[in-house]
C-alpha cells in the first residue's frame, strides 16, 4: 500500500509539472517529454483494484428498445387497445383487459363471449396487417370424449393431450411414436386417435362428427360439438367464419381450459423482397375456463370466463422485419408542427407561439438554438416526419399572421394567428393513420 501511495504522489507531482509547462507555453518538445514521463508513471501505477467498477448491463430476459422500436410497439398496442375498447373492454391496473360480455347473475348464451373473443382476435390481426392468418378452434370436452372412446386411460389424458398438441409442428408418425414409445400407449389406441386428430374443416366437420356413432355417444364430446355448431352460427353472423377452422389436433396444454379453445397462426409472413422467412408460431390464443376463478372464491362458485392473449413480442418481430425489408421510415414522435423563425432574434416570439400551441393541445416543438437557419429547421421536419411548420418572420409579426408550411407539398399559406390552432387541427386530423 505504501509503495502505491508513493507512486500516486509521483503521478500527481508530474501532472502538476506538465500543467505548469503548458501554462508557461513551454516548447512542444519539452511538454511531450514530460507527458511521456507521466504516462510511464501511470503505467507503473496500473488500475486501482479497490475502486468499484460499474458495468451497465441489460437484465437477463429483458431488452432495450430504441425510439424507432418503441414507436412500432406503441402503434401495435394502440391497435389492440382500441379494438378491445370498441368491444366494451375495461382496463384494470395489472394491466389486463377484462371483457364485460355478460352478467353472471343472469342467464346468457355461453357461446356469444367465445364468438366475440374470436371476432376481436380477427379484428386485431387484420388491423395489424401482418399477413394472412387462420384461427383454429376445438373444445376440450371433444378432446376428452375422443380420448375416452379411443381407449386412452384417464391417467394418460393430459400427457397424450400434450403429444397431440405437437401436430402443428411434427408429423403424425412422430407424434404416434412419442405416444407409444415414450408414453406407453397401445398402438391400436394411437391409431384410433390418429383417425380423428388429422381432421380439420368447418361447420360441416362438426355436423359429420355429430353423426359419428361412437363420438356422439359420449356426453362430453356431444356437448362440445353442439356448442361448436352454435359457435359457427355466430361466427357466420360476425362475418369471420372463413377465418376459422375446426381442428381436432388443437389441444392447448393448459389444464384450466374447460370448453372452446382457439389459436391464431400466420399462414405466411408478408412476402416482400429481401425478407427472410420468419417462423413465429401462434400469434394469439385463448379459450373458456369456467372453473378457474371459482378456485379463488371462498364459496367455490362457478364463474363463466373466456379470455384471449395476443403474442405481442412475436408480432413486433414480424412488423420490425417488414419495416426493415421495405426500408420504411417510422416516426418516433407525434409532433404536429414545428415552430420556426425566418430571421434572427426571434427566439422569444418562437417561445411564445409554441407555448400557445401547447396550451391549445397541439403537439409542437422548436429548435433550441437561438438563431437557427430556416433551411436547417425545414430539413429537421423532413427527417423527423413533422407534417407542418409554423414560420414566424418580422413581416408576419407586423401583419398578425403565421406562415403555415406543408412539409410534403412545400405549399405555404398565411394564417391569422387566432385561427392557427384550428387550421393545424384541421390539417392534421386529415392525415391521421395507424401504420
| Binding-site residue set for L-histidine | 103, 252, 256-257
Kindly state the cell numbers that stand for 104. Answer: 353472471
Residues 6+ apart with CB under 8 A from 187: 176, 180
Query: Can you list the alpha helix ranges (DSSP code H) found in 178-218?
Result: 187-197, 203-210
How far is C-alpha 149 from the geometric centre of its chain's CA atoms? 42
Query: How buried is residue 36: exposed, middle or buried, by Cβ count under 10 Å (0-12/13-18/19+)?
Result: exposed
Tell me the residue ranges of DSSP E strands in 323-387.
Answer: 337-341, 364-366
Sign of the C-alpha dihedral, residues 159, 164, 169, 172?
positive
Measured distance between the N- and C-terminal CA atoms of the chain, rounded to whole angstroms: 63
Q: 48-76 burial, b if ≥16 CB within 10 A, otherwise e?
A: eeeeeeeeeeeeeeeeeeeeebebbbebb
CA 111 – CA 117 distance, rounded (Å): 10
* Nine-digit cell string for 301: 362458485
Mark the binding-site residues, compressed into ranges: 103, 252, 256-257
Cβ atoms of residues 235 and 115 within 8 Å? yes
Amino acid at each position: 500500500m505504501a509503495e502505491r501511495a508513493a507512486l500516486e504522489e509521483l503521478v500527481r507531482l508530474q501532472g502538476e509539472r506538465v500543467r505548469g509547462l503548458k501554462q508557461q507555453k513551454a516548447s512542444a518538445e519539452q511538454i511531450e517529454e514530460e507527458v511521456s514521463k507521466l504516462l510511464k508513471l501511470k503505467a507503473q501505477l496500473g488500475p486501482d483494484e479497490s475502486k468499484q467498477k460499474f458495468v451497465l448491463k441489460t437484465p437477463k430476459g429483458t431488452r432495450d428498445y430504441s425510439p424507432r422500436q418503441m414507436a412500432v410497439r406503441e402503434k401495435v398496442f394502440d391497435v389492440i387497445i382500441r379494438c378491445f375498447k370498441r368491444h366494451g373492454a375495461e382496463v384494470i391496473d395489472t394491466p389486463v383487459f377484462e371483457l364485460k360480455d355478460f352478467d353472471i347473475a343472469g342467464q346468457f348464451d355461453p357461446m356469444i363471449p367465445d364468438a366475440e373473443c374470436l371476432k376481436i382476435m380477427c379484428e386485431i390481426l387484420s388491423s395489424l396487417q401482418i399477413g394472412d392468418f387462420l384461427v383454429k378452434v376445438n373444445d376440450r370436452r371433444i378432446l376428452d370424449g375422443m380420448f375416452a372412446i379411443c381407449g386412452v386411460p384417464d391417467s394418460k389424458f393430459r400427457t397424450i393431450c400434450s403429444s397431440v398438441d405437437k401436430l402443428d409442428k411434427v408429423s403424425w408418425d412422430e407424434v404416434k411414436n412419442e405416444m407409444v414409445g415414450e408414453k406407453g400407449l397401445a398402438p391400436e389406441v394411437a391409431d384410433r386417435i390418429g383417425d380423428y386428430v388429422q381432421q380439420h374443416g368447418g361447420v360441416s366437420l362438426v355436423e359429420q362428427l355429430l353423426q359419428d356413432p361412437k363420438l356422439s355417444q359420449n356426453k362430453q364430446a356431444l356437448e362440445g360439438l353442439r356448442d361448436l355448431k352454435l359457435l359457427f352460427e355466430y361466427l357466420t353472423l360476425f362475418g369471420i367464419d372463413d377465418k376459422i377452422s375446426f381442428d381436432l389436433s388443437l389441444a392447448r396444454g393448459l389444464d384450466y381450459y374447460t370448453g372452446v379453445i382457439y389459436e391464431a397462426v400466420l399462414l405466411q409472413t408478408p412476402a416482400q423482397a429481401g425478407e427472410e422467412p420468419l417462423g413465429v408460431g401462434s400469434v394469439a390464443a385463448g379459450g373458456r375456463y369456467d372453473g378457474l376463478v371459482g378456485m379463488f372464491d371462498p364459496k367455490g362458485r362457478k364463474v363463466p370466463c373466456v379470455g384471449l392473449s395476443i403474442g405481442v413480442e412475436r408480432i413486433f418481430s414480424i412488423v420490425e422485419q417488414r419495416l426493415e425489408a421495405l426500408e420504411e421510415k417510422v416516426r418516433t414522435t407525434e409532433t404536429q408542427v414545428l415552430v420556426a423563425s425566418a430571421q434572427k432574434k426571434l427566439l422569444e416570439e418562437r417561445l411564445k407561439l409554441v407555448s400557445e400551441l401547447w396550451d391549445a393541445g397541439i403537439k409542437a416543438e422548436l429548435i433550441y438554438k437561438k438563431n437557427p437557419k430556416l433551411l436547417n429547421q425545414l430539413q429537421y421536419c423532413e427527417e423527423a416526419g413533422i407534417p407542418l411548420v409554423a414560420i414566424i418572420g418580422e413581416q408576419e409579426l407586423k401583419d398578425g399572421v403565421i406562415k403555415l408550411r406543408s412539409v410534403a407539398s412545400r405549399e405555404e399559406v398565411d394564417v391569422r394567428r387566432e385561427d392557427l390552432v384550428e387550421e393545424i387541427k384541421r390539417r392534421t386530423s386529415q392525415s391521421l393513420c395507424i401504420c
